[in-house]
Structure 1
């Protein structure tokens, strides 16, 4: 486990301890916790989540930057092609060659842009799927821990009330025997 996972686990264990040591409501089994402190710990867990979201955002901004550069190159190539065409109207072969070269540059830029779009989309999708899986697992762990804590508290209350009931019945029997 890396340091990040340990911090998240420590925070989740702290939440569990907070629930275990909190004042319990009689009969209902509900627990009173300090909402502000509980929320602060949850915020810390959220802040410790992996930087995968930042990486995905970076990939998307890189994609936009590369597409923008490709578009600029395309515009430059198109302008150069137009200028060559104007300058060399009388020389048909140069115009043809310029058009071919411009079309090659455009096709190359479009192919590169498409490859970058597809690659960044696949990478972002993969990162977001991993993050979703991790968040889901952490949610299940937290819910399980909270359920166990609530069940433990309910069992303790049941045992205490059963013991109290037994003592009351013994006291009633003792009073009747007097």
Structure 2
């Protein structure tokens, strides 16, 4: 999972800065520019995979909703066929309509539940992904500011 890779890279960058030798009489440190830039480049390269994962979640949600709609359509078709078969007898017709309405109501309720569950699942997954990306971005920004401050102080 790219989130773990990004976390590891941020931790590596943090450790690089944390372990860097201090500049005497200051709160500054000396780090290898290439090493820090390489780590930041890897973080940048892995962020698109986080976005890809969010898109995959949306695609799964759409598949889930499509499957629910297909099941709903199948139930409706079954109910209609059942109703047509019982048209010959008035009592059977009344019973068929009642049963068809129950099946339709049941299918509509199930489709609604599936759509609500899919929406909740996707919303939660995307919130988690958004939080992860936001946290990583904030860590990268903080690290960049610290890095640039350290580099300016070195001059």
TM-score category of the 2 structures, normalised to the smaller one: 0.7 to 0.9
Cα displacement (A) at 1:51? 4.9
Aligned equivalents of 2:97, 2:142: Cα separation in 1: 66
Classify 1:150/1:10 alpha carbon distance in 2 versus 1 (closer, same or farther; 3 Å): same
Over the residues paired in the alignment, what is the CA RMSD in angstroms?
3.1
Is the CA contact (8 Å cut-off) linking 1:53 and 1:128 kept in structure 2?
no
Number of residue equivalences: 139
Corresponding residue number in structure 2 for 1:150: 148
Equivalent of 2:105, from 95, 104, 107? 107
- TM-score for both structures, normalised by structure 2: 0.72
* Residue segments in structure 2 that go unaligned for 5+ positions in a row: 17-30
Is the CA contact (8 Å cut-off) linking 1:59 and 1:120 kept in structure 2?
yes
- TM-score for both structures, normalised by structure 1: 0.64
Is the CA contact (8 Å cut-off) linking 1:11 and 1:41 kept in structure 2?
yes
Aligned equivalents of 1:118, 1:92: Cα separation in 2: 38
Is the CA contact (8 Å cut-off) linking 1:11 and 1:45 kept in structure 2?
no
Aligned equivalents of 1:130, 1:9: Cα separation in 2: 14
Query: Is it true that 1:98 corresponds to 2:96 in the alignment?
Result: yes
Query: Is it true that 1:58 corresponds to 2:69 in the alignment?
Result: no
Deviations 1:89-135, CA, capped at 9 Å, x for gaps:
xx211111111111110010001101111121112111111111111
Equivalent of 2:125, from 124, 127, 131? 127
